[in-house]
Amino acid sequence: MSNQDKPLILATNDDGINSHFLIRLVEALSKECDVVTCAPDGERSWIGHAITRHQTLTPEKLKKYPGKEAYSVNGTPADCVNLAVGNLLDRAPDVVVSGINLGYNVTLPMILSSGTVGGAMEASLLGLRAMAVSLALPNEEFDQIRDSGGKVKGEMAMTLDAAAESAAKYAQTLATLPVPEGLTVHNLNYPISYRGEEEPILTFANSLKLNSLFDLTEDQKSYQLTYKSKWLDEAKIQVGSDLWALNENMASISRLDFSEASGKRYLEP
């Protein structure tokens, strides 16, 4: 296959350009695709589809990074996608891939809050094929993995490798499909012990009520976002959903169509 025949992939994330999970994904994508990475210069988790309004964006081209080109940007995942597509790429990407996120992105509240999904959503708003990729982590190891920038070893490294290769394969397939008419994001989630033996199954996003996200800090003067894993443990699981697949230790794909948010269906007879 010549370079001109290779799909062009735009990669981004919300954990930052130096996340090992993003780097491993770019390495897997680069085997069969031309990959340009444009990602935030630091973590932008839980930021959803935010677009930067009151500061200028400055892309910094990185010299040592896997793939064709890579840019670090002082903005959000959605900023990175919009900036790259409109200003940094010489042609529209065949697929925009956002991830691999440190931790799962299942159920509607997490999906709609996720910066990983937000980057993919921006791609869909631009009329591009879009996918978000997330990997579940052991609760007791999450902070350590996050603080290390996604550097994992042993069983978790094997899971990351399998998820990256699976996501790259899915991106190649997605590049051959027609661009969807709606605002579609393919939301992939991989369980902790994924080894690549089975392809992700098709699911839908489970509903969930998170309640208050903020807890009072020790100084009793301010409030901090505090995610509680018990929310998923206590959730009502819908069979066939992304949460159900995660609990069953299966990789999943939910094809989210954000055009349903337009309200148009309520006007149809």
Q: How much is the pLDDT for 4?
A: 62
| Domain assignment present for 244 | yes
pTM for the model stands at 0.95
CATH of the domain at 218: 3.40.1210.10
The answer to whether the beta carbons of residues 150 and 19 sit under 8 Å apart is yes
Q: How much is the pLDDT for 2?
A: 43
Q: How much is the pLDDT for 146?
A: 95
Q: How much is the pLDDT for 260?
A: 86
The answer to whether the beta carbons of residues 71 and 121 sit under 8 Å apart is no
The answer to whether the beta carbons of residues 102 and 18 sit under 8 Å apart is no
Distance in angstroms (rounded) separating the CA atoms of residues 187 and 202 = 10
| Domain assignment present for 267 | no
Residue type at 73 in one-letter notation = V
| Domain assignment present for 39 | yes
Q: How much is the pLDDT for 3?
A: 53
Q: How much is the pLDDT for 1?
A: 40
pLDDT tens, 81-113?
A: 999 999 999 999 999 999 999 999 999 999 999
Q: Is the peptide bond prior to 100 cis by the omega test (within 30 degrees of 0)?
A: yes
pLDDT tens, 52-86?
A: 999 999 999 999 999 999 999 999 999 999 999 99
| Domain assignment present for 268 | no
Distance in angstroms (rounded) separating the CA atoms of residues 155 and 133 = 19
Two tokens, residue 246: 């995660």
Residue with tokens 């579609």: 184
The answer to whether the beta carbons of residues 207 and 238 sit under 8 Å apart is yes
| Domain assignment present for 269 | no
| Domain assignment present for 139 | yes
| Domain assignment present for 168 | yes
Distance in angstroms (rounded) separating the CA atoms of residues 240 and 223 = 36
The answer to whether the beta carbons of residues 258 and 185 sit under 8 Å apart is yes
Q: How many whole angstroms from its chain centre is CA 170? A: 14
Query: What is the torsion angle, in degrees rounded to the nearest 10, for the CA atoms of residue 25, residue 184, residue 50 and residue 74?
Result: 30
pLDDT, tens digit only, all 269 positions of the chain? 445 689 999 999 999 999 999 999 999 999 999 999 999 999 999 999 999 999 999 999 999 999 999 999 999 999 999 999 999 999 999 999 999 999 999 999 999 999 999 999 999 999 999 999 999 999 999 999 999 999 999 999 999 999 999 999 999 999 999 998 889 999 999 999 999 999 999 999 999 988 899 999 999 999 999 988 889 989 999 999 999 999 999 999 999 999 988 888 888 77
Element (H, E) at 252: strand 252-257
**Residue 26, CA distances (Å) to 15, 29, 117, 172, 185 in order:** 14, 5, 17, 13, 19
Domain that holds residue 15: 3-259
| Phi, psi torsion values for 94, nearest 5 degrees | -75, -35
| Domain assignment present for 264 | no
201-203 sheet: strands from edge to edge: 60-61, 69-73, 34-40, 8-12, 95-102, 130-135, 184-190, 252-257, 201-203
Q: How many domains does the chain have?
A: 1
Q: How much is the pLDDT for 261?
A: 86
